[in-house]
Amino acid sequence: MSEQSSFEEHGRRLFEASVENLDMRVRSRLTQARHAALDVSASPRLRFLRLPVWSSAAGVTVAGLLAFAIWVGGPMGQPHHTPTVADTQAGFEDLELVAASDENNAAPMEMLQNDIDFYEWAADKTAAGDSGNVG
Amino acid sequence: MAGFATLSQAWMAWDGPAPAPEDAVLDHTKELEKFLAEVERRAFRIAQVSLRDEDDALDVVQDAMLKLARNYSAKPSAEWRPLFYRILENGIRDLQRRRVVRKRVMAWMPGPKEDPDEEAVDPMENVPAGGADAPALLMQDQAMRQLEISLRALPARQREAFMLRNFEGLDVAQTAKAMACSEGSVKTHYSRAVHTLREQLGEVW
C-alpha cells in the first residue's frame, strides 16, 4: 500500500469511527428525517401546491444588487477604516460564494427567500434606529 | 376516439405512466429506506464538518432526504447516491451563503455585533466516556478533530471532493455528478486536497 493510500485509509477509518460514535439524539433525528422523506415519497405529488419558481435571471439580478449594496456600503455606527488586503480578499471570497449559482438549484434567490424573516427583522431594527442589543 | 388495448395505454395517453402496482411501490419504498438508512449518518458527519453545527447539519440532511424522495425517487436507485450528495452539497452551500449574508447584514446593524455561528465550543463536550479504551478513543477523537480543522481550511471544492471520494467512497464519475463538474476537475481537486492535508497532518498524525 502506498504512503498516500495509507494516509487516505487512515482518514477514512477516523471518519467511520466518528460516524459509529454518533449520539442517540442525532441518530433519532436522522431516523425521523428518513421517515418523513419516505412519507413524502409514498404520498401523491401535489404540484399545484408548490410555490412558484422564480426566474433564475431575475433571482441572480436581485441577489446581485443586494450583495452589491451590502458590500459597497460600510457597517452602520462604526468608525470608517481603510480596508486591508485581507479584508478585500475575504470580501471577494464571500461575494463569490453568495453570487455563485448551482445547476438544479434556485440559489441565490431561494437562499434569500428562506431567510425572509431575518431580513424583515433586520429592516425593522434598522428603521427603529435601535442602538441596544442585537440578537 | 381511438380504442385502447389496455387500461395502462389509456392512462398513459391521459396523464403519463400508469400507477405502479402496490407491491412495486412497497419494494420501491423499502429500497429508498435502505438507501437513506445507509447514507444518513455519513451524510450528517460530512455536513457537520462543513457547517460546524449539529442542528444545521441535521436540517441540511433532512432537506436533502426530502428533496431526493420528492423529486428523484423515481430515478433508478443506482443514481440516488450522487444525486443525494449533489442536493446535500447544494444545501450546505446555500446555508453558507445565508451565513455570509447574515453576517454582512449584522455588520450593518447598530449596536453590539454578535455572530451566532461563533458560539464558544465546550472543549469537554465531545470527550469520549471513560473506560479501558478511553486513551485510544481520545487519540482517535483528537486525530479526527485535526482532520476536520484542516478540511475546513481547504477551498470548498477540494473539501467536497475529498469528503465524497474518501469518506463516502464515491468513485470519480459519481463524485463528478455530485459536484456537477468534470471527472478531471474531481481528480485535480482531490489530489490537491490530499497533498495539502498530508502537508498539514503528516507530522502530527
> Given an 8 Å threshold on Cβ–Cβ distance, is B62 in contact with A37?
yes
Shortest distance between the Cα of A86 and any Cα of chain B, in A, equals 16
Q: Please, is B87 exposed, middle or buried when counting C-beta atoms within 10 Å of its C-beta (0-12, 13-18, 19+)?
A: buried
Which tens digit of pLDDT belongs to each residue from B70-94? Answer: 999 989 999 999 999 999 999 999 9
Domain boundaries, chain B: 20-111, 131-205
Q: What is the pLDDT of residue B105?
A: 78
- Range in A81-95, B4-18, B190-204 with the lowest mean pLDDT: B4-18
Give the A:B interface size as CB pairs under 8 Å: 173
A117: Cβ–Cβ under 8 A, 6 or more apart, which residues?
none
> Given an 8 Å threshold on Cβ–Cβ distance, is A19 in contact with B97?
no
Q: What is the pLDDT of residue B101?
A: 83
Under the banding of pLDDT at 50, 70 and 90, the label for residue A51 is very low
> Taking a C-beta distance cutoff of 8 angstroms, is the pair A10, B205 a contact?
yes
Instruction: Count the residues in chain B.
Output: 205
Q: Whole-angstrom Cα distance, residue B118 to residue A118?
A: 18
- Range in A75-89, B79-93, B100-114 with the lowest mean pLDDT: A75-89
The yes/no answer to whether this complex scores an ipTM above 0.85 is no
Q: Which of A89, A48, A71, A42 is nearest to B25 (CA)?
A: A42
Q: What is the pLDDT of residue B133?
A: 73
pLDDT of B11 over the 50 cut: no
What type of residue sits at position B42?
A: R
Which tens digit of pLDDT belongs to each residue from B145-201? Answer: 999 999 999 999 999 999 999 999 999 999 999 999 999 999 999 999 999 999 999
CATH of domain B131-205: 1.10.10.10
Longest dimension (CA), chain A: 65
Q: Structure pTM?
A: 0.67
Task: Provide, as residue numbers in chain B, all residues whose Cβ is less than 8 Å from the Cβ of A70.
Answer: 101, 104-105, 108
Q: Whole-angstrom Cα distance, residue B139 to residue B91?
A: 32
pLDDT of B7 over the 50 cut: no
Instruction: Out of A21, A33, A112, name the one closest to residue B61 (CB).
Output: A33
Average pLDDT rounded to a whole number, residues B6-34: 66
Shortest distance between the Cα of B130 and any Cα of chain A, in A, equals 14
Under the banding of pLDDT at 50, 70 and 90, the label for residue B25 is confident
| Half-sphere exposure of residue A125: CA atoms within 13 angstroms, side-chain side | 20
Instruction: Out of B65, B93, B198, name the one closest to residue A37 (CB).
Output: B65
Shortest distance between the Cα of B4 and any Cα of chain A, in A, equals 25
Instruction: Out of A38, A78, A105, name the one closest to residue B32 (CB).
Output: A38
Cell numbers for A49, please give them: 401546491
Average pLDDT of every residue of chain A: 67
Q: Which of A13, A4, A16, A17 is nearest to B198 (CA)?
A: A4
